[in-house]
A and B are shown apart, each in its own frame.
With several copies, the nearest count.
Chain A
């Protein structure tokens, strides 16, 4: 299991930085928002928490299609399925590796990008906390989507289509928590829900992912 995690992390770094690039996408999406909605700082600071959450979500999403696809194409998944490692463990590790290479850097970069969008000072801590709690759910749900679409050529967009609706609750509660934090409101309920979603998906979804993966392999 550790070997798999280490290999996935190594692959992410070798491939020109799974790290750097997920981050870069987040950065660029954030930068593009003022170009598209205009540079007024009051407007930007209103939409900042939402945009940052959406940007993080899209950055996650974009890296999903390679999560299992590369292992599928070169036959590694077949071999892993016949190895003495339950497929549930495989998908959990894959999700963990995805979070470490994508979710975690996003959490760390979010405050910097908050500056670009004039995020109110009160909002920074809540943004970071909500992302920290929410991104693991994004990785786990994304792994499920990747497992569903792994055999399909051009699964990339189909994957987005399947995963985005699943991301809705996470996004709503996460962005709500960040938004409330930014204007100094109480963030209790959305944070609680967010934590609940993460806990539940982390605990349960790997079973579903393993099941669909098994179907896709045969």
Chain B
């Protein structure tokens, strides 16, 4: 009983107007706390952490790289979830939230890729290696691009929501499949193409204390990125809702004319 009322209360936010009103109220909080966490985390990480014994100052990149990588993946999961909600319960806000999240996901993927590439140059001696993790990220990037391109290409919003949702579903399955395929592929002929595995360079297991030194600011940064993500998605969803409303109003004018 309690569960169902709670669930119903949650679904109420699928009402566009209510969603807008609520986000209007909570957004300032999200913006502010995201900014605060990011500022604290990044300044802490950048100015007040020591260099790693093997990686030197480059370890500071971790404060951007890891949160971005985390969010890049989780943004896709969020899109998968909201797509499912759209397909099953047909709440428009849900579909629009997926649409709003995709560009944020792309930027996160890009940041992870860019910082990784910049990091790889001194660490591995190359900008890019076909390491399984990097490769599956690249594939994720392609999935994002396709998803966004499909949204942009279709005019009717409901059609677009349906098609992109199915694409997100099918794409998720294939993305996971790709991950396994890529893992298999790069162990295949060439074992350990990159000597420095990602796990090896954090030094997490050997140097507990150093790890903590890096860990806390990293945690703050992750929280900051998550808050920023939430703020951006809520804000952008509001924008998408209004854009849809504009479409409907224009159509209405046309019918009236």
A pairs with B: yes
The verdict on B193 contacting chain A, using a C-beta distance below 8 Å, is yes
The verdict on A125 contacting chain B, using a C-beta distance below 8 Å, is no
CB < 8 Å neighbour of B190 from A16, A40, A161, A180: A40
Q: Which residues of the other chain, A, contact B138 by a CB distance below 8 angstroms?
A: 31, 116
Interface residues on A, range: 35 or more
Q: Which residues of the other chain, B, contact A166 by a CB distance below 8 angstroms?
A: 170-171, 174
Query: Does A152 lie within 8 Å of B154, measured CB to CB?
Result: yes
Query: Does A16 lie within 8 Å of B152, measured CB to CB?
Result: yes
Number of B interface residues, CB 8 Å?
A: 40
- Report if A165-B181 is in contact (Cβ < 8 Å); known contacts: A38-B188, A215-B163, A218-B159: no
Query: Does B149 lie within 8 Å of A21, measured CB to CB?
Result: yes
The verdict on A11 contacting chain B, using a C-beta distance below 8 Å, is no
The verdict on A216 contacting chain B, using a C-beta distance below 8 Å, is yes
User: For chains A and B in complex, what number of residue pairs have CB atoms within 8 angstroms?
Assistant: 125
Query: Does A162 lie within 8 Å of B189, measured CB to CB?
Result: no
- A78-86, A87-95, A189-197 - the one binding chain B: A189-197
Q: Which residues of A from 148 to 184 have beta carbons under 8 Å from B?
A: 148-149, 151-152, 155, 158, 161-162, 164-166, 168-169, 172-173, 176, 179-180
The verdict on B130 contacting chain A, using a C-beta distance below 8 Å, is yes
Shortest Cβ gap from B222 to chain A (Å): 27
Q: Which residues of B from 177 to 203 have beta carbons under 8 Å from A?
A: 177-178, 180-182, 184-186, 188-190, 193
The verdict on A129 contacting chain B, using a C-beta distance below 8 Å, is no
Q: In the complex the two chains form, what is the Cα distance from A205 to B127 in whole Å?
A: 37
CB < 8 Å neighbour of A168 from B139, B149, B184, B190: B139
21 residue pairs from A and B, CB less than 8 Å apart: A15-B153, A34-B135, A35-B185, A39-B130, A41-B129, A41-B193, A115-B127, A148-B150, A149-B150, A149-B153, A158-B153, A161-B142, A162-B146, A162-B149, A162-B167, A165-B174, A165-B175, A169-B174, A169-B178, A169-B180, A215-B166
Query: Chain B: residues with CB nearer than 8 A to chain A?
Result: 117, 126-130, 135, 138-139, 142-143, 145-146, 149-150, 152-154, 159, 162-163, 166-167, 169-171, 174-175, 177-178, 180-182, 184-186, 188-190, 193
**What 12 additional pairs, Cβ within 8 angstroms, besides A31-B142, A165-B142?**
A24-B142, A28-B142, A39-B185, A41-B126, A158-B153, A165-B139, A166-B171, A168-B174, A168-B178, A169-B181, A215-B163, A218-B159
